[in-house]
Amino acid sequence: MEVGFLGLGIMGKGMSMNLLKHGFKVTVWNRTLSKCDELVALGASIGETPAAVVKKCKFTIAMLSDPPAALSVVFDKDGVLETIGSGKGYIDMSTVDHPTSTKISEAIASKGGHFLEAPVSGSKKPAEDGQLIILAAGEKALYEEITPAFDVMGKKTFFLGQVGNGAKMKLVVNMIMGSMVNAFSEGLVLAGKSGLDPHTLLDVLSLGAIANPMFGGKGPAMIQGNYSPAFPLKHQQKDMRLALALGDENAVSMPVAAAANEAFKKARSMGLGDLDFSAVFETVKDLQH
Ligand SMILES: NC(=O)c1ccc[n+]([C@@H]2O[C@H](COP(=O)([O-])OP(=O)(O)OC[C@H]3O[C@@H](n4cnc5c(N)ncnc54)[C@H](OP(=O)(O)O)[C@@H]3O)[C@@H](O)[C@H]2O)c1
């Protein structure tokens, strides 16, 4: 199966490598073209532009940072819209809001092409290990055709119906995660300041009803101040912003998420946007001075 892949950031790199390893023929494009080199060394071809990739491949997957990036790759010069058409499928796995996804879907359909949104839950390591949770929505026939690729990239795929539902589900999940990491950060600071060993807190948490892979995975590195990025903080703040907009649209009051968003904004203003989202811990520590 021949697939195109647009966007070789932290996630796209791991996902496209998995496709290559499992025998897919992959044609890659990245805005910063040098990021294609590692994939080419593993057997991928390069497309000079998104349009060139779509022209060559029946299916093209995108994994881009945010709504402006997702829209630019489709609508700008040399973009997907120039060559998409009947018999071709475009699968956007970026985390965006549902208006962005709908706009892309309608544009692709107007050219006779097929569209699926498929944002993912999981991070750098699950992307590398093919263990993502894929939240697909859109054209069912395209979903069925692209399932072999999803099976390689993910451990479970949900088909959620019409375009927009995948985006919404992803934003709800990340809103919860963004609030959780803030509560966790406050707990670590409170433990330390009140004379407890934060490592013991991790042990206690790991045995109880609120144990989860995020506390266990991020906690030790946070205590050491190590925020090597698996999920960049700037993207987590984007997800909080988009989830709050979804709350706005549906008149859902979310004071906890709003406070968490403020902490991520503060972290960005402190220059922490490219670090892991767990670096929001630094803003909680900063409040104590
Ligand atoms: N990392 C995670 O744990 C994780 C987990 C689940 C979902 N996600 C979501 O997956 C998406 C990708 O995340 P990531 O962690 O891989 O991010 P990343 O490492 O920052 O990569 C972002 C990608 O988007 C490209 N890009 C940015 N602006 C662009 C533009 N205007 N035009 C074209 N390309 C552009 C970048 O190209 P350059 O290389 O040229 O900058 C890069 O390929 C995001 O929507 C994120 O929210 C991430």
Closest CA to 65 of 239, 278, 246: 239
For ligand 1, say whether the CB of 124 is within 6 Å of any of its atoms.
Answer: yes
pLDDT over 80 at 63, yes or no = yes
For ligand 1, say whether the CB of 22 is within 6 Å of any of its atoms.
Answer: no
pLDDT over 90 at 3, yes or no = yes
Residue 286 pLDDT class (50, 70, 90 cuts) = confident
Whole-model pTM? 0.97
Nearest CA, atom 8, ligand 1: 95
pLDDT over 80 at 87, yes or no = yes
Q: Is residue 170 annotated as a catalytic residue, yes or no?
A: yes
pLDDT over 80 at 289, yes or no = no
Assigned architecture for domain 2-161:
3-Layer(aba) Sandwich (3.40)
d(CA 7, ligand 1 centre) in Å: 7
pLDDT given at position 95: 98
pLDDT given at position 32: 97
Q: Where are the domains of the chain?
A: 2-161, 168-286
- At residue 230, what is the residue type? A
If one counts every other C-beta atom within 10 angstroms of the C-beta of residue 193, the result is 10
For ligand 1, say whether the CB of 73 is within 6 Å of any of its atoms.
Answer: yes
d(CA 78, ligand 1 centre) in Å: 19
Of the listed 170, 218, 234, 238, which one is catalytic?
170
For ligand 1, say whether the CB of 236 is within 6 Å of any of its atoms.
Answer: no
For ligand 1, say whether the CB of 241 is within 6 Å of any of its atoms.
Answer: no
% of the chain exceeding 70 in pLDDT: 100
Nearest CA, atom 39, ligand 1: 32
pLDDT given at position 204: 98
Computed over every residue of the chain, the mean pLDDT equals 97
pLDDT over 90 at 127, yes or no = yes
Q: What is the pLDDT of residues 176-222, one digit of tens each?
A: 999 999 999 999 999 999 999 999 999 999 999 999 999 999 999 99
Residues linked to residue 25 through DSSP beta bridges, in sequence order: 2
> What is the average pLDDT across 52-73?
98
φ, ψ of residue 157 to 5 degrees: the values are -120, 135
Closest CA to 180 of 203, 161, 205: 205
- 178, two tokens: 């963004």
> What is the average pLDDT across 269-280?
98
pLDDT given at position 139: 98
Nearest CA, atom 28, ligand 1: 69
Topology classification of domain 168-286: N-(1-d-carboxylethyl)-l-norvaline Dehydrogenase; domain 2 (1.10.1040)
Q: What is the pLDDT of residues 91-119, one digit of tens each?
A: 999 999 999 999 999 999 999 999 999 99
